[in-house]
Structure 1
Amino acid sequence: MAEGSQSAPEAGNDMGNDDAIGGNVSKYIVLPTGYCGQPKKGHLIFDACFESGNLGRVDQVSEFEYDLFIRPDTCNPRFRVWFNFTVENVKESQRVIFNIVNFSKTKSLYRDGMAPMVKSTSRPKWQRLPPKNVYYYRCPDHRKNYVMSFAFCFDREEDIYQFAYCYPYTYTRFQHYLDSLQKRNMDYFFREQLGQSVQQRKLDLLTITSPDNLREGAEQKVVFITGRVHPGETPSSFVCQGIIDFLVSQHPIARVLREYLVFKIAPMLNPDGVYLGNYRCSLMGFDLNRHWLDPSPWVHPTLHGVKQLIVQMYNDPKTSLEFYIDIHAHSTMMNGFMYGNIFEDEERFQRQAIFPKLLCQNAEDFSYSSTSFNRDAVKAGTGRRFLGGLLDHTSYCYTLEVSFYSYIISGTTAAVPYTEEAYMKLGRNVARTFLDYYRLNPVVEKVAIPMPRLRNKEIEVPRRKEKSPPYKHPLLRGPASNYPNGKGDKKSSVNHKDPSTPF
């Protein structure tokens, strides 16, 4: 077990430079200044040497306070946002303040009430900390960087506590999920390996459709969906799983969609970055979502493989690539929303707005008012921009964004924090919206006679509300409306009051 200690007097030396952070801490023991001997209870042990872990350095400021440094993305020091680490060897009722001191972004949802996630050995369900225990501010002690501080009280000595920026979704979890789907032997679910990452991890491609649509010579209407090109944007995986779960279900809407459409899904475009605990980049330090124009088969192999397949489908006269949706998470905005492209053809531009307007009707957390259409030069290498320029006028390309934090329900000002289930619900509603887009409701009624057309709420399976774990915490001081039957846009204001959490 690697050991080390860092005391307050050393915090301002040359080691304060982020360039000194070369990897994750590994069972790093923080001992008081001048202490000799075996660690005692309360001498915290930090660890991030696990899948998707990220914590580069720990400085002890005082007996109760610690400065924590995010490890930058591999081969790219520009990006420092994602963190995921464990703390053990705690003492019961031990109160601490953790300061995340080297974020690479200044704007953050921490200003609006977002809080880190926590779970522990005996309470494995992720929970958000109470916003009242979280403070986001510009700190003169850290070169005027923005710092996120949170207070916490460890309540069970034998537990190992884990903290993360958002709900983790690892490469291994993803593989287990796909394995479980494969074992069901569904004749409308196909899994193949489209390629490998630089570190030889799988680039999985899923095809969900009726077998009749895959027979030789059959014409295909294709919806292509990708996710996790930015590895720290974990909500992308939950939304993608929600889409997949719905499409493989026996729900009448899913059955009709499989008959009419071919869904091609590459849920994890950056498996190396996901595994390593990067926020935005691949193993070699590239933001893959800026390299669609000319991806290298050896530097950007996953992107290269997906692009080749899309171009191949585009050149197939029997295939109509109707939608491309790339799923992301957003660190400064609420709700789900979309980015689309700008076209000279006004009619095409208007048609592009139909899908997000329909989604706004189906999903209470989706905001059409936050949806925008652009051709910003800095986004030229993204999948949405590249494919929007490549594909013909019958194809629509979107980036689907979802907040790391919360959504605002129409007609209210209260921020509702996202849960894993809420992210997956958005995915189910994305899938369901294709029924409205293609006007397949009469077909569903034939499939499910005498079942009436289902509204959004009737699609969702209610789940028993679980109680939050009883962690103890000290207080830290310190346009849809113009579309027929539209719900209206979501409001963007935030209620800074503490949500009802039993912590």
Structure 2
Amino acid sequence: MEGKNNGKRGRKSGGAVSTLRPLERCLCRGAEGGRYDPLGQDKPIKVYASTEDILVAQLTGSDDCSEDAVVGNVNKFCVVPPGYNSQPRRGHLIFDACFESGNLGRVDYITEFEYDLFIRPDTCNPRFRVWFNFTVENVMVGQRVIFNIVNFSKTKSLYREGMSPLVKSTSRPRWQRVPPKNVYYYRCPDHRKNYVMSFAFCFDREDDVYQFAYCFPYTYTRLQSYLEAIEKKNLDYFNRELLCLTVQQRRLDLLTITAPENLDPDENQRVVFVTARVHPGETPASFVCQGWIDFLVSQHPIARVLRQHLVFKIVPMLNPDGVYLGNYRCSLMGFDLNRHWQDPSPWAHPTLQATKQLLMDLNGDEKVDLDFYIDIHAHSTLMNGFMYGNVYDEEDRFEQQMVFPRLLGNNAEDFSLANTNFNRDAVKAGTGRRFLGGALDDNCSCYTLEVSFFSYLTNSSSVPVPYTEEAYMKLGRNVARTFLDFYKLEHLINPKPTAGPQYPRGQRNSSGRGKDRERGRESRGSRAMSSQQEVGSYAGSASGSSLEAMPVHFKMHHRDGKKR
């Protein structure tokens, strides 16, 4: 970057203008008045504003301006030019991140056209700085600015692949992406060679409050409202219970979705266990999970069949405190919960401890076959949806792990078999997938389901398709549908309508899954027969006969580069 003098970019002492970056020159030519007018002073001005009044303060100490001094979110934080001592006027931007899932730790005035923005690190853990979510108000019509987010903790990013920040405003509440041509991602020598994401933006409505975010926010409050709305329907196949409280006394919800008769104490259960949002900044995971839940509680014929045969247990938000606080990866106390599955503490990791205990109880119950554990995440450097699985020495067990991703790849156009990866990296030993893959019954398949923060490629197009909230939820619906195909192969669900049970009670299928898969199957036989009339030959799901013809593109590694 050119023009560094006295620690500040874009100006020299005495007010002379130094060489501008290309983005600055482009912006200045388009600004009203047609000229760039820096104010040439070394110390930035920060103005702290409350809802009642605005307090102006000139910063004179260098410590407060260091990049390490980012501890809390800005609160109605107005930035005015150096030397300006009057009340802020229209066009002096007011930044705010003191709201649920908000994150913006600091704003530095560079010029009237440019601001350096600092992500607030995760609470009690300065290593993670990726998620941002803030508002800007008090703008002028036609006001053009450059925002530089200067302290990302990741070097690789989908910003290099065309990803751009999301924006909405009070009069336009639907999220849109900033045009990619206005977004730049580069290493900046003025910020300890950190990677910087710069984007240009033009405000067009004075009365609007603009909100910018790394990805579509999905808050704890939104989840609670969503679950309460389902509860009000009084569905006999949906149950919501409190699994535990977090450190800050928020709910850890456990959902059970199944036909009521499956919960009879004498009935044997086939359980699919799902978790999401252990990493709070990975908001796409919540949209995928909501799509999954929406499908399971719907009246779709496949959903009814799945409820008749399976018990779905879902923990939709494993890290409520981290989500509420606007962290990217950690809990309130600075722990990456997805590294503590081996020995979670009831006081430091209560949500993890409660979830692990429930899984261990299910695994030890003779009337429960725990078939799947799936943990939903979002990925910051790869496209599409894909899965991580475990590597096992037993060939049959390893081959069994491959079945579900292959079926899902046939059902979801945004799911990538090429990115699907099986590994047993020792560094990941504390993750849910790795730990539970060794702790649960050998017949339980444990996966991490990943989805891109940005986009997906399809077989019919070489141009990335940006994900939307609806596209994430569609992936969740397609994952749920895929269980029909899987259990057809398992012969729990008959592939076609039949006049009687296709497999006599007590007969085992060739995969040999489960502690005793035919326990209690007699009571399910009538449901299996009647359910086929609803499903028929569903065209949108993979048939069992086509499985062998599916291409195999799996990667098998002992190490991978993703911290998951």
TM-score, normalization by structure 2: 0.80
Task: Specify the SS of the correspondent of 1:453.
Answer: coil
Give the deviation of 1:446 after TM superposition: 5.2
- Check if 1:214 corresponds to 2:263: yes
- State the identity as a percent: 69
Matching residue's letter, 1:442: K
Give the deviation of 1:13 after TM superposition: 3.5
Whole-Å Cα distance in 2 between the matches of residues 398 and 251 of structure 1?
Answer: 26
**Higher relative contact order at CA 8 Å, sep ≥6: structure 1 or structure 2?**
1
The Cα offsets for residues 99-134 of structure 1, whole Å up to 9 and x where unpaired, read as 000000000000000000000000001111111110
- Check if 1:203 corresponds to 2:256: no
Which residues of 2 match residues 288-367 of structure 1 at below 5 A?
288-367=337-416
Tell me, yes or no, if the aligned pair for 1:327 and 1:401 is still in contact at 8 Å.
yes
Give the deviation of 1:395 after TM superposition: 0.6
Matching residue's letter, 2:496: P
More moved, 113-122 vs 28-37 = 28-37
From 523, 529, 537, the counterpart of 1:453:
537
- Check if 1:140 corresponds to 2:224: no
Matching residue's letter, 1:125: R
The Cα offsets for residues 364-411 of structure 1, whole Å up to 9 and x where unpaired, read as 000011001111111100011111001122110000000000000014
Give the deviation of 1:442 after TM superposition: 2.6
How has the CA–CA distance of structure 1 residues 448 and 312 changed in structure 2, closer, same or farther, with 3 Å as cutoff? closer
Task: Specify the SS of the correspondent of 2:462.
Answer: coil
More moved, 264-273 vs 403-412 = 403-412
Give the deviation of 1:16 after TM superposition: 3.7
1:391 maps to: 440
- Check if 1:248 corresponds to 2:297: yes
- Check if 1:380 corresponds to 2:429: yes
- Check if 1:93 corresponds to 2:142: yes
- Check if 1:486 corresponds to 2:550: yes
From 14, 17, 27, the counterpart of 2:66:
17
Matching residue's letter, 2:316: P
Whole-Å Cα distance in 1 between the matches of residues 401 and 534 of structure 2?
Answer: 34
Tell me, yes or no, if the aligned pair for 1:336 and 1:407 is still in contact at 8 Å.
yes
- Check if 1:280 corresponds to 2:344: no
1:493 maps to: none
More moved, 56-65 vs 31-40 = 31-40
Tell me, yes or no, if the aligned pair for 1:4 and 1:29 is still in contact at 8 Å.
no
Whole-Å Cα distance in 1 between the matches of residues 377 and 205 of structure 2?
Answer: 36
Whole-Å Cα distance in 2 between the matches of residues 149 and 26 of structure 1?
Answer: 22
Tell me, yes or no, if the aligned pair for 1:5 and 1:30 is still in contact at 8 Å.
no
Matching residue's letter, 2:340: H
Rg: which structure is higher?
A: 2
Whole-Å Cα distance in 2 between the matches of residues 177 and 154 of structure 1?
Answer: 33
1:262 maps to: 311
Whole-Å Cα distance in 2 between the matches of residues 435 and 79 of structure 1?
Answer: 39
Whole-Å Cα distance in 1 between the matches of residues 539 and 249 of structure 2?
Answer: 43
Whole-Å Cα distance in 2 between the matches of residues 404 and 271 of structure 1?
Answer: 20
Give the deviation of 1:143 after TM superposition: 1.1
More moved, 137-146 vs 448-457 = 448-457
1:461 maps to: none
Whole-Å Cα distance in 1 between the matches of residues 268 and 529 of structure 2?
Answer: 24
How has the CA–CA distance of structure 1 residues 451 and 394 changed in structure 2, closer, same or farther, with 3 Å as cutoff? closer
- Check if 1:57 corresponds to 2:106: yes
TM-score, normalization by structure 1: 0.89
2:496 maps to: 442
How has the CA–CA distance of structure 1 residues 141 and 106 changed in structure 2, closer, same or farther, with 3 Å as cutoff? same
The Cα offsets for residues 23-44 of structure 1, whole Å up to 9 and x where unpaired, read as 0000001011111211111000
How has the CA–CA distance of structure 1 residues 154 and 325 changed in structure 2, closer, same or farther, with 3 Å as cutoff? same
Whole-Å Cα distance in 2 between the matches of residues 5 and 149 of structure 1?
Answer: 27
Task: Specify the SS of the correspondent of 2:112.
Answer: coil
Tell me, yes or no, if the aligned pair for 2:267 and 2:367 is still in contact at 8 Å.
yes
Tell me, yes or no, if the aligned pair for 2:250 and 2:321 is still in contact at 8 Å.
yes
Tell me, yes or no, if the aligned pair for 2:275 and 2:376 is still in contact at 8 Å.
yes
From 218, 228, 252, the counterpart of 1:169:
218
Tell me, yes or no, if the aligned pair for 1:120 and 1:162 is still in contact at 8 Å.
yes
How has the CA–CA distance of structure 1 residues 4 and 28 changed in structure 2, closer, same or farther, with 3 Å as cutoff? farther
How has the CA–CA distance of structure 1 residues 99 and 307 changed in structure 2, closer, same or farther, with 3 Å as cutoff? same
Tell me, yes or no, if the aligned pair for 1:26 and 1:49 is still in contact at 8 Å.
yes
Give the deviation of 1:448 after TM superposition: 6.8
Whole-Å Cα distance in 2 between the matches of residues 47 and 487 of structure 1?
Answer: 50
How has the CA–CA distance of structure 1 residues 483 and 449 changed in structure 2, closer, same or farther, with 3 Å as cutoff? closer
Give the deviation of 1:17 after TM superposition: 2.7
Give the deviation of 1:348 after TM superposition: 0.6
Whole-Å Cα distance in 2 between the matches of residues 357 and 313 of structure 1?
Answer: 27
Give the deviation of 1:412 after TM superposition: 2.5
The Cα offsets for residues 412-453 of structure 1, whole Å up to 9 and x where unpaired, read as 311000000000000000000000000134369954748752
1:462 maps to: none
1:81 maps to: 130
Matched pairs, number: 465
Whole-Å Cα distance in 2 between the matches of residues 163 and 327 of structure 1?
Answer: 24
